[in-house]
Chain A
């Protein structure tokens, strides 16, 4: 169902995009003939750079575990994921074609994103409370992606400050991944309350992940500053496919040895960027692009 909805949305977006390239017959009242300058301003290419931060949310599709409880509820060991807590970063090259209020934008991006989860274990003796060990596994995943978003933007206003809304689709190619696991705990059995934290285990985890795709929607604002356009935008990327490599979830011996298995995960992101765009078409040397 999810795939069908996604497909429908994608086709609608695509259709909208195509429709902008066609000249529709004008059956309504005749419009005044645009001036040469206005006609020129109907189209523009923009090229620029932007960078910013992102916040990730990992949503488990299906959870997997190495540790299988035999006499207690599995929920006691369940992984608890953070939500839009860890900051990542991204850098984007933007190429946008503007046409009559709509913009079609490709934005290849290098994105570094992070999320964490933890789970806890407890072993105890009901007849002797001192015989207790509590362990907590804190796991941080760092993922690097090459994103290939395609956005369609619509400028709400056409003034110097030009707010816009955007929808798009993103294909994300995994570049690198690693995982850091920190084990801490309290040992009550060794003669006191022994709190300890082991050195983090950091392992390459690229084999645990895959490429994925997302749908995106967001808002932004352009500010025309002379010939340069300053842009600030924020978008929500809704992960539409599993980011985990289903064949390798137990493939890392270091992680499996300490009881960790890769869940099937949808990765959502809030991506906030700021940057500058430069026009590629000029009417004359002193003409200021779209800034009328």
Chain B
């Protein structure tokens, strides 16, 4: 009898299910709500800060400008709200990513009146600490490059795509411009992209080895172009179909390969291990790839290289027609599909950025439409265990 009581005691106290802060950090969903009826906030990029929290660069609706305003949101390790900054509307059109340099975060935007590109420095608490004039207009894409930053911008005066190397103080050390082609029709989708009046174009810039690449307009077509920033013409071009087809995301892998996503007249394709010619002219439609009919037409795609279950994984994130955020995992070495995961339900959700976290998990930042109408920022934190389960392979 005594043993029965002792056993019962163990069972009873063994089921004590107290709060678990570690679990609450590892796994959460948050929607950052503002009760202003006309307010709209959307994320552009997210970075985990050294304190375990997250810094989110976002855009916001401006009443007095066609461009997006700038919004900075700082949340804690549990996703709780810490602070927000609605940057003065003299600065508009922010672009990602948030680039870490010397414990500060940098992003590009432009002035509302002069359309001049600015480099903004932000601390880990989401406060702007400095601002540097860069000079180019219409910043379109950026990337970190060692201690410098790469910037793709659009020169609307000369109708040229511009790739520049920018220092943390805003000085341009190297730059090259490439003609988009003559005529206003070529420029129209670019300007509409900035005004947010039509589809968003997948501008991107980066560097592989000593070669720079950008996904932007060149010679009348959205193209993935490779350049040494010296020659007047790109050394390699993967042409799209004007603004109806092309590369929607590219991340260089080892061995000269790329993890690519491409779109073609609404269709979407993933190429987790693609061989891309960095010289000569080729067509994106010849690259093939895995068709993803469940994605929205010309879907926005984010690609992240990460490690799950001690395996190098290429993680794709995109938007489905059912208004969810879809994650697709591929083995980086073989390109083999290893699993998927869907986020969001009831209200529409769209992906903006994905980032690995210090605990081996994943932060997925996106846009949701609260009550089906209010544009707000959402954040999914996925634990390492959940990732391991979803992308364990077959």
Contacts and interface: CB of A to CB of B under 8 A. Distances in A.
Interface of A: 3, 7, 10, 14, 17-18, 21, 61-62, 64, 66-72, 121-125, 128, 131-133, 135, 150, 169, 171, 185, 189, 201, 210-213, 240-247, 249-251, 253-254, 256-259, 261, 264
A132 B81 contact: no
Nearest to B6: A14
Interface centre among A242, A251, A254 (most CB of B within 10 A): A242
A131 B31 contact: no
A210 B28 contact: no
Given A131-B38, A251-B27, A257-B347, A171 B33 contact: no
Nearest to A134: B371
10 contacts: A3-B13, A18-B5, A61-B19, A123-B35, A123-B371, A133-B373, A210-B17, A246-B19, A256-B345, A258-B346
Contacts of A14: 5, 9
A250 B32 CA distance: 15
Contacts, number: 138
Closest 9 CB pairs of A and B: A257-B346, A257-B345, A246-B20, A242-B17, A256-B29, A253-B345, A125-B37, A131-B37, A258-B346
Interface string B138-172: 00000000000000000000000000000000000
Contacts of B374: 123
A71 B349 contact: no
A242 B19 contact: yes
B115 interface: no
B308 interface: no
Given A121-B370, A251-B27, 10 more contacts: A66-B29, A68-B80, A69-B35, A121-B371, A135-B371, A171-B11, A241-B15, A244-B17, A246-B24, A253-B345
Contact of B84 (A3, A70, A171): A70
A124 B371 CA distance: 13
B33 A69 contact: yes
B173 interface: no
Nearest to B20: A246
A106 to B, nearest CB: 11
Contact of A261 (B20, B29, B373): B29
Interface residues of B, number: 46
Contact of A171 (B8, B18, B29, B368): B8
Nearest to B371: A135
B84 A241 contact: no
Interface centre among B84, B346, B347 (most CB of A within 10 A): B346
Given A68-B33, A244-B17, A250 B38 contact: no
B77 interface: no
A68 B371 contact: no
Given A171-B8, A171-B11, A254-B345, A241 B34 contact: no
B376 to A, nearest CB: 9
Contacts of A123: 35-37, 371, 374
Interface in B162-217: none
A259 B31 contact: yes
Interface string B285-298: 00000000000000
A66 B345 contact: no
Contacts of B19: 61-62, 242, 246, 264
A69 B81 contact: yes
B311 interface: no
Nearest to B38: A125
A64 B109 CA distance: 36
B30 interface: yes
B17 A245 contact: yes
Interface centre among A7, A131, A243, A247 (most CB of B within 10 A): A247
Contacts of B347: 257-258
Nearest to B18: A242
Contacts of A212: 15, 17
B21 to A, nearest CB: 9
Contact of B31 (A67, A132, A211, A246): A67
B10 to A, nearest CB: 11
B12 A213 contact: yes
A250 B343 CA distance: 11
B388 to A, nearest CB: 14
A225 B1 CA distance: 32
Nearest to A74: B81
A169 B108 CA distance: 63
Contacts of A261: 28-29
B37 A133 contact: yes
A246 B35 CA distance: 29
A104 to B, nearest CB: 10
Contacts of B31: 66-68, 259
A189 B34 contact: no
B29 A18 contact: no
Nearest to A169: B12
Contact of B81 (A70, A131, A244): A70
B334 interface: no
Nearest to B385: A247
A70 B33 contact: yes
Contacts of B81: 68-70
Contacts of B371: 121, 123, 133, 135, 185
B1 A71 contact: no
Interface in B331-384: 342-347, 349, 368, 370-371, 373-374
Contacts of A258: 345-347
A239 B154 CA distance: 64
